[in-house]
């Protein structure tokens, strides 16, 4: 089998599943022309495997330029042609692409197989508990019953047709789940074969190029309120500072806020603590002045680089907390498990503008939620009248904005490190 994340579609395989049983007498069907073995037409595949307007079907090349998509970045453009070929070679050497796909599925032969004796009729039933079953085979409903349900039944006297349908069975998790396991059964008469389908988001690649003469180091990876103030030599940057601060935390949880946020009677940190204590979430965010910033990250994998699709909102309500949702990223006001935050880390090469990048690196590793009812304030910005302060503010502001060179560096970093081709 192949595994993938919640809200995903997975083609599972089980080699040489042998099911044998005694067969009852069966009257042969009237002679009919053999069915042509083919997959569903594209329009039906799009209906089956489209989420948030994104067609997540397996293909050699994902697309950020379809009519309904608005491309933000093409990360490959940050390289000149010679450099791009070298980076592609590195990706091939390291085998970046995995079979498990989020909101997509893997077509990895040979698929499910029946290897029992010949019979006048074959009635095979598949059952799932958490997800739903389907097949890509373009077959009449009297042969395949229960498409899009937890029970799928195949009824045919054609062994080749049975093999074709089984080889293209799909499993779809309809809710966002994190490291869950479903047990799927394959039944024929009194024989039953069971196998697990793991539902998870594949961890996004994080490759490191140490450069000539350097050694590569991979970052790997309890409720009181402690304020940390540390000094980092200039100018190491935003994410390096985050790494230093979190490395000194000794409590179970760490609360992250900007230095100009204001705590009010609506900043109920205890609500965030309760969420982390009672759920599987690793990170939970609130809102700033009631402005909710939460986004879903949808990863569409392909051979030549993945496509990252960012969409606002959440996947679903968080169980037990009706005012919270499960999502992929939140505002810069969040509570997190310290250990799990350290496991992802903050890439110190990102020195100025960086926030989304942390959640991209955590894709498939961090389970994120958002509870907008927990609100923090924000210090209003007023024009500076003191000339000395104005000079300091002007000097500081240039470190808050990315230069064009830094933007190009960030795009190149996403392509090399995360194997991302483009984003929408």
Q: DSSP state, 64?
A: S
Greater confidence (18 vs 336) lies with 336
**Rounded-to-integer distance, Cα 352 and Cα 347, Å:** 11
Residue 144: which pLDDT band, with cuts at 50, 70 and 90? very high
pLDDT class of 231 with cuts at 50, 70, 90: low
List, in sequence order, every residue forming a beta bridge with 137; answer none if it has no partner. 39
Is 341 strand, coil or helix?
Answer: helix
List the single range of 44-58, 120-134, 143-157, 248-262 with lowest mean pLDDT.
44-58
The lowest-confidence range among 167-171, 177-181, 247-251 is 177-181
Nearest residue to 159 via CA among 120, 209, 197, 129: 120
The vertex-126 CA angle with 121 and 129, nearest 5°, equals 160
Beta bridge partners of 316: 326
Task: Give the span between the Cα atoms of 197 and 84, in whole angstroms.
Answer: 37
User: What would the DSSP string read from start to end of 88-110?
Assistant: HHHHHHHT---S--TTS----TT
Provide the 8-state DSSP code for 304: T
Distance between CA 188 and CA 192 in Å, rounded?
Answer: 6
- Is the model more confident about 368 or about 232? 368
Range in 5-14, 217-226, 279-288 with the lowest mean pLDDT: 217-226
Range with the lowest mean pLDDT among 38-47, 249-258, 375-384, 397-406?
397-406
Q: What's phi and psi for 245, nearest 5 deg?
A: -60, -50
**What is the per-residue pLDDT for 79?**
81
> What is the band of 68 on the pLDDT scale with cuts at 50, 70, 90?
low
Q: Which residue has the tokens 């979190």?
A: 246
Arithmetic mean of pLDDT, 358-380: 93
- Rg, Å, the chain Cα set: 26
Q: Give percent of the chain with pLDDT exceeding 90.
A: 31
Residue 386 CB burial class (10 angstroms; 0-12, 13-18, ≥19): exposed
Nearest to 2 by CA among 127, 100, 96: 100
Side-chain half-sphere CA neighbours of 301 within 13 A = 22
- How much is the average pLDDT of 411-423? 87
| For the ranges 161-165, 169-173, 243-247, 304-308, the one whose mean pLDDT is highest | 161-165
Alpha-carbon separation of residue 97 from 7, 140, 279 (angstroms): 20, 34, 31
Element (H, E) at 200: none
Six-digit token pair at 12?
């599972």
List the one residue out of 421, 422, 416 whose CA is nearest residue 206: 416
- Cβ(310)–Cβ(356) below 8 Å: yes
Residue 9's pLDDT is what? 41
Tokens of 409: 């560096």
The predicted structure's pLDDT at residue 26: 44
Mean pLDDT of 24-45: 69
Structure tokens at 393: 């503010």
Residue scoring higher pLDDT (218 or 322): 322
Cis peptide before 34 (omega within 30 of 0): no
Strand 283-288 to 321-327 pairing = unpaired
pLDDT band at 76 (very low <50, low <70, confident <90, very high): confident
Q: Which domains does the chain have, with CATH numbers?
A: 9-22+36-58+101-199 (no CATH), 238-423 (3.90.550)
The pLDDT mean for the chain works out to 78
Task: Judge whether 118 and 175 are in contact, CB under 8 Å.
Answer: no
Neighbours of 295 (CB within 10 A): 18
Q: Check residue 365 and give its pLDDT.
A: 87
pLDDT at 217 over 60: no
Angle at the Cα of 166 from the Cα atoms of 162 and 167, rounded to 5 degrees = 115
- For residue 367, what are its two tokens? 């389970």
Do 29 and 157 touch, CB atoms closer than 8 A? yes
What is the rounded CA–CA span in Å between residue 225 and residue 269? 10
Higher pLDDT, 317 or 57: 317
The highest-confidence range among 187-191, 284-288, 405-409, by mean pLDDT, is 284-288
The per-residue pLDDT for 137 is 92
Q: Which of 49-53, 172-176, 313-317, 382-386 has the highest mean pLDDT?
A: 313-317
CA gap 96, 414 in Å, rounded: 13
Distance CA 402, CA 416 (A): 20
The pLDDT confidence band at residue 94, using thresholds 50, 70 and 90, is low
- Confidence band of 419 (pLDDT split at 50, 70, 90): confident
The pair of structure tokens assigned to 234 is 């200039």
Q: If pLDDT is split at 50, 70 and 90, which confidence band does 384 have?
A: confident
């Amino acid at each position: 089998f192949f595994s993938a994340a919640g809200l995903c579609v997975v083609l599972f395989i089980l080699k040489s599943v042998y099911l044998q049983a005694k067969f009852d007498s069966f009257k042969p069907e009237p002679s009919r022309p053999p069915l042509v073995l083919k997959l569903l037409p594209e329009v039906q595949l799009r209906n089956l495997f489209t989420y948030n307007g994104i067609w997540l079907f397996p293909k050699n090349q994902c697309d950020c330029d379809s009519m309904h998509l608005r491309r933000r970045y093409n990360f490959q453009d940050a390289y000149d042609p010679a450099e791009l070929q070298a980076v592609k070679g590195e990706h091939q050497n390291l085998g970046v692409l995995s079979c498990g796909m989020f909101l997509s599925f893997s077509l990895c032969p040979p698929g499910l197989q029946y290897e029992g004796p010949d019979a006048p009729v074959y009635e095979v039933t598949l059952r799932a508990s958490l997800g739903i079953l389907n097949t890509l085979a373009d077959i009449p409903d009297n042969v395949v019953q229960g498409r899009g349900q937890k029970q799928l039944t195949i009824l045919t006297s054609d062994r080749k047709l049975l093999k074709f349908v089984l080889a293209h069975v799909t499993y779809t998790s309809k809710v966002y789940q994190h490291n869950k396991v479903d047990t799927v059964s394959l039944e024929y008469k009194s024989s039953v074969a069971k196998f697990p389908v793991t539902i998870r988001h594949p961890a996004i690649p994080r490759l490191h190029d140490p450069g000539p003469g350097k050694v590569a180091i991979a970052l790997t990876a309890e409720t009181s309120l402690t304020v940390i103030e540390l000094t980092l030599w200039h100018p190491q940057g935003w994410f390096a500072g985050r790494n230093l601060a979190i490395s000194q935390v000794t409590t179970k949880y760490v609360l992250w806020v900007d230095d100009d946020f204001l705590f009010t009677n609506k900043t109920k940190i205890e609500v965030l603590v309760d969420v982390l204590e009672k759920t599987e979430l690793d990170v939970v965010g609130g809102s700033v002045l009631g402005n909710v910033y939460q986004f879903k990250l949808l990863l569409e994998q392909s051979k030549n680089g993945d496509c990252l699709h960012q969409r606002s909102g959440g996947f679903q309500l968080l169980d037990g907390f009706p005012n919270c949702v499960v999502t992929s990223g939140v505002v810069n006001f969040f509570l997190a498990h310290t250990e799990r935050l350290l496991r992802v880390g903050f890439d110190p090469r990102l020195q100025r503008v960086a926030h989304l990048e942390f959640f991209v690196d955590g894709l498939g590793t961090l389970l994120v939620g958002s509870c907008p009812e927990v609100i923090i304030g924000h210090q209003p910005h007023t024009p500076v009248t003191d000339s000395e302060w104005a000079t300091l503010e002007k000097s500081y502001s240039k470190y808050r904005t990315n230069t064009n060179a830094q933007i190009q560096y960030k795009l190149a970093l996403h392509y090399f490190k995360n194997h991302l081709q483009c984003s929408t």
